[in-house]
Each structure stands twice: as structure tokens, then as C-alpha cells.
Structure 1
Amino acid sequence: MNDEPTKNEILTESGTNELEIIEFHLIKQLPDGSTKTCYYGINVAKVREVIQVPETTDYPNAQAHMIGVFSSRDKLTPLIDLAGWLGVPTRPEKDNKFVIVTDFNNMTNGFLIDSISRIHRISWEAVESPSQFLEAGEQDCVVAVVRKDKNLIMILDFEKIIADINPELSMEKYDVTQDRNVNISESSAKKREAKTILVVDDSAFIRSLIENTLRSAGFNIISAKDGGEAFDKLTEFERISKEEGVSINEFVDAIVSDVEMPRMDGMHLVKRLREMDTYKTMPIIMFSSIMSEDNRAKALQLGANDTITKPEIGRMVSLADTYVFGTPLDD
């Protein structure tokens, strides 16, 4: 792993529609005693380090599939049995296994794996949506698929896995109607009803949370499962608005987009939209689990109006108000 590029090196490439993934494996134990290698991937930008299995301490009343906790750079870190959560039977011995330590959404977690392979640098255009293989719902844990060396590498929805194992940290607990910092009066909801926001995220789980939050405040919502689908929809809106001589705001008033997505990532989507006269001033908010200061600076440089990290879903409505109406709503 010594040839792993730094996060800064990766981030300087933002907007080029490329990413780096770490390929790792779980070795499935079959009933006849043979084994089968299962291929998975994670964005390098979410990985702090890959280590040998550390000594862990049992945590009282822990969630299922949480092996224990360990110290990672002075941070108390849960160790999660990824194979157990995925329902993949693997050998129980931890000898010669590894742990991927992730760092995103202001959280550190460790995931037990059987083996680590290599880093692949690929274009988001080569990353396929899982809906090409199956009808992905909110419970699906695969957000994308990469074909490499005749294998299918499944890119996992680690936000969903963590939310399932530790519900207390999940954005699902947020309810905009109970948030005293957000104006949800009848008159404010009425104003929002006239506005439409396009929500773009490859995770059905996260996309549903964003949609429900904005819709509960009154906004109309349309959605896209990746940057490619969003760009196609927005291009079609542009064509119809020009053809019929109406404002683009008849179709969409703002965009909330993830960064990591199949076909076209969020950074490249912003870059492409800002090159089009129709979308030069359209409010765009980036909502991502890897929104570091460097990534935020890059998003703003490419033309995004603002950024939020995924735990901050409570800021979503007030930010949307600010950019859609030019000011926070009050009565």
C-alpha cells in the first residue's frame, strides 16, 4: 500500500471524473468445503489506513456484527465484521486477515476483511449503477459496480452499513418538523411548494433521507441516481425550456448533489453545468461524506454554491432556502 496516492493528489484531480478505489476481498466458505473470492471496493478518499487485525476490547451491549473497539491514532474505533453484516460465511480465525480503517462523516470505523488487493484508478464513466444488475432499493448496500480483470467489484454503501450497526449516529433520526432552527410554518411551506429541487445521490438510502427532509419542509423533489442521469435530465430540461421559450425554473430551481457517483461524479457534474449558460447561476449544494476542507475548496472552485458533510443534514433546508430564495425564510 506504499504506492497509495495522498488524498490531496486525488483531490487535485477532482472535476476530471476519475476516482481511485481500493479492491479488497472476502473469502466465502462454501458448504462443500471449497471457497469463492468475493470482490469489493471502497473509494481511497474514505480510507485512513489498512492494518493487521488489532487487539480489541469488548463493548457492552454492542450491536450485532460489532467485534469490539480498538484505538486508531488515539480515536476509539469500532471493529465491524463486514462479512457477518453482508451474510458472507468466512473462516472465523482472524490470522492473516486485515482491517480497513475508514474516516468519513466525522467518524472512524474499522472493517474486518480477508485480503487487500490493489488500487485501481478508473473513470466514473466505467463505474456502473447496480440497477443495471438488479432493482436497487433503500436496503441495498451496493452503490456501484466496476468490471476489472473479468471480475465484478462491488462498491459498498458504507454509510448505510454504519447507520445499520449504529442507529444512534444515523441521519434517519433527523426530523425537520422537530427542528426549531428551521421555519416550517404554513406560509414558509407554501413558498417552498413553488420550488423544485433535484436530488442526486447513488445511495437509495441517503437519497431517500434527503428527499424526505426537503419534502417535509415543503419543497417539490425530483431525483437522479447518479451524475449521468442528472446531467441527462438537466440537458432535457434545457432543451424543452428553449423550445417552449420558458424559464428553466419551470423545471428545476436548485440541485443537491453527492460527490461519489457512477457514470459521472458530482464534481464533474458541477463543472459541466457551469459551462452551460442555462445553469451558470443555478444554486448547487454538494452533500458528501468526504467533504474535507480541500474537497470543499475544490467544489467551490468548480462552481458549487456551498457544501455540507452528510452528518449535517439538519443544515439542508436552511441552506436550500438561502440559495433558492436569496435569504432564510421567516414570517
Structure 2
Amino acid sequence: MSTELKTSILTESGTNELEIIEFRLEKLLPDGSTKVCYYGINVAKVREVIRVPETTDYPNAQPNVLGVFSLRGKLIPLVDLASWLGVPTTSNIDEKVVIVTDFNKMSNGFLVDSVSRIHRISWEEVESPSQFLEASDQDCVVAVVRQETNLIMILDFEKIIADINPELSMEKYDVTKDKSVVIDDAMVARREAKTILVVDDSAFIRRLIENTLRSAGYNVITAKDGQEGLDNMIEFVRLCTEEQLPITEFVDGVVSDVEMPKMDGLHLVKRLREIGEYKDIPIVMFSSLMSEDNRRKALDLGANDTITKPEIGRMVGLMDSLVLKEGK
């Protein structure tokens, strides 16, 4: 069994729709019975679904990495997803399958019990986790989809991969040590006069972007999904009109993810460009799904530029060029 999934399904231009693969882990309960746990991943992140391959042990691997395997000329780590999530499952590996992902310029294999179906849904049907769940630094659920009889948890695969491969994580980046970024009193003062809205459903990614921009001097406000981001921007327009102030008194630029609950980033760009005050505001898309096709769609909808995760090192320089007009 090998199912290619990558070619035909991509985020469409501003339609606010996505397709998710539903997969399952069978949780082993203390009495020996099992309970099915339902999870999901954006189809655009999935390369294929395969039978469990032969793996080779890798020295000093993270405990949840079962080994590495070769697929189409690439060496790919195999992650025991249930183990990472702390979900006890049966050890019958022959009956399981592997979801091979391809994003953030990395390929990874995730061992799961089964893959059931693909759901095509609107981002409006995708809910953010509760505030209680979001409060946890360890939370790896970025969204929830309600089905007739169960809830599908959309996992934060960027966070999972960063935990398994800390050397490759964006957390390693320190803008204050980046010689390509000017961090002197004059530049920091210029940035301190500017405010950037960061929109991302992953608390982990939001924190990384916010820390990077703040370390360089920028003021940062955040939103956890496209709808919250749009609501904030509409409120800024209301306040500007009421107080007869320019919009730059509240916000000077936007950094947005693509895949988010309630409203995706492409639809957010489309909506913002329809508002007169935001016709020319700098907008940068920062996403693990920034293929050439999605980059073209983002630019066609009005984004100024795109960054592919995990290239967070480009963030401050790009915002300087767009917001401060540096180098222009």
C-alpha cells in the first residue's frame, strides 16, 4: 500500500477551504480494551501513506524515533506518534501504517494505527482549542473539527518535529547574534515606532515569531487565527475613524500563517486588501506550506512576500525592507 496524495490538493486562492486526512490511534485502556482517538493533518503536508517499512536504528536517536528508512532515495526518520503523544497502543506494528509528511523542507514518517478518510471542510468549521488547552506550553493541538460522533484533533506537527529534532528547530535562531541584521540603537528605535500583527494558530510558532521581532525592537500584537486577526484589524479602522488618526498609529505590518482555524491566511489577505486602510499595508505569509504554487497564490491575493518555515532568519530583514523601507 502506497498512496500518493501530494499533487492535486492544495490550498485554493482565498476560498477558506482545506482537506484533512483523518487518522486514528487505538488507545489501550487498563482493562485491555481499546478506545479510538481521532486526529487530523492537512493533506497539503502529506506526501503519501505507506505500509510500515523496515527501519535501521539511528545512534542517539530521540526516544520516540523508531529508526530511519529509505524512501525514493531519501533517508526519513520514523516517529512513533502515539509514544510522543503519551497514548499507549498495541505493539502489533505490522497492522499499522506510516504517514509520510513533507513540509518545512523536511520529510518525516509518523507511525499511526490507521488512516480512514479525507474530509473537505471550510476553515470556518475548524475550531480553535479551548483557552485551557492553549494555556499549556506542551499543547500540540492547534485545532478541532467536530464530526457527527467524534472530535478530530488537528496536531501541531511543527512543534512535534521541533521537539524531536531540536537542532533543526527555529528556537535555535537568535536575531541578536545574526550579523546580517542591524541591531544598533538607531535601528532599534526605528523599529520601536512600528507595530506588527502576528497571526498563527500555533502558540509555539507565535511565540517564536514574536520573540524574534521583539528582540529586534518591533512592537508585536498577536492573533490565534485569521478571524481574530481580521477582527483586530477592523477594530483598528473603527478607532482610527473615531479618533481621526492614521492606521499606522495601531498597526504597520502583518505576518500570517496560511492554515488556521475559522479563517485561513490566504482568505485573511484577500479580506484585508478589500479594506481601503489596508490596501498597501505590508503583509508577509510565513508557512510550512509555501510551495511555489501557494507562493504564487499568496502574491496574487496581495501578499508582499512569503517565507517558508523554518527560515525565521529572514523575518526581521524582510520586515525592515517592507515596513521601514530599508534597502529600497
Q: CA RMSD in A?
A: 1.6
Contact 1:283 1:305 in 2 (8 A): yes
| Partner of residue 124, structure 2 | 125
| Partner of residue 30, structure 2 | 31
Structure 2 CA distance for partners of 1:62 and 1:4, relative to 1, 3 Å: closer
| Partner of residue 16, structure 1 | 15
| Partner of residue 267, structure 2 | 268
Structure 2 CA distance for partners of 1:3 and 1:76, relative to 1, 3 Å: closer
Structure 2 CA distance for partners of 1:2 and 1:122, relative to 1, 3 Å: farther
| Partner of residue 309, structure 1 | 308
Structure 2 CA distance for partners of 1:278 and 1:42, relative to 1, 3 Å: same
Structure 1: distance between partners of 2:282 and 2:16: 21
Structure 1: distance between partners of 2:309 and 2:4: 26
Structure 1: distance between partners of 2:6 and 2:192: 44
Q: Secondary structure at the match of 2:133?
A: coil
| Partner of residue 257, structure 2 | 258
Q: CA offset at residue 305 of structure 1?
A: 0.2
| Partner of residue 78, structure 1 | 77
Q: CA offset at residue 323 of structure 1?
A: 0.4
Structure 2: distance between partners of 1:2 and 1:179: 43
Unaligned runs of 5+ in 2: none
| Partner of residue 292, structure 1 | 291
Contact 2:257 2:286 in 1 (8 A): yes
Contact 2:13 2:301 in 1 (8 A): no
Task: Tell me if 1:156 matches 2:155.
Answer: yes
Q: CA offset at residue 327 of structure 1?
A: 1.8
Q: CA offset at residue 131 of structure 1?
A: 2.2
| Partner of residue 55, structure 2 | 56
Structure 2 CA distance for partners of 1:312 and 1:96, relative to 1, 3 Å: same
Q: Deviations over 1:136-174 (max 9, x none)?
A: 433210000000122100000000000001101100000
Q: Deviations over 1:262-291 (max 9, x none)?
A: 000000000000111111100000000010
Q: Deviations over 1:192-246 (max 9, x none)?
A: 0000000000000000000000000000000001101001100100111111111
Q: CA offset at residue 260 of structure 1?
A: 0.6
Map 1:1-331; keep pairs closer than 5 Å: 7-11=7-11, 13-131=12-130, 134-328=133-327
Letter in 1 for 2:119: H
How many residue pairs get aligned? The number is 328
Letter in 1 for 2:51: Q
Contact 2:3 2:49 in 1 (8 A): no
Structure 2: distance between partners of 1:26 and 1:2: 19
Structure 1: distance between partners of 2:166 and 2:9: 34
Letter in 2 for 1:299: A
Structure 2: distance between partners of 1:320 and 1:73: 38
Contact 1:39 1:152 in 2 (8 A): yes
Letter in 2 for 1:271: K
Seq. identity, % = 73
Q: Secondary structure at the match of 2:26?
A: strand
Q: CA offset at residue 135 of structure 1?
A: 3.7
TM-score by length of 2: 0.97
Structure 2 CA distance for partners of 1:9 and 1:61, relative to 1, 3 Å: closer
Structure 2: distance between partners of 1:137 and 1:306: 32
Q: CA offset at residue 132 of structure 1?
A: 5.5
Contact 2:22 2:38 in 1 (8 A): yes
Letter in 1 for 2:10: I
Deviates further, 177-186 or 135-144: 135-144
Q: Secondary structure at the match of 2:179?
A: coil
Structure 1: distance between partners of 2:43 and 2:274: 28
Q: CA offset at residue 14 of structure 1?
A: 2.7
Contact 1:139 1:205 in 2 (8 A): no
Q: CA offset at residue 72 of structure 1?
A: 1.8
TM-score by length of 1: 0.96
Q: CA offset at residue 6 of structure 1?
A: 5.2
Unaligned runs of 5+ in 1: none
Contact 1:137 1:204 in 2 (8 A): no
Deviates further, 137-146 or 25-34: 137-146
Letter in 1 for 2:279: K
Structure 1: distance between partners of 2:180 and 2:136: 31
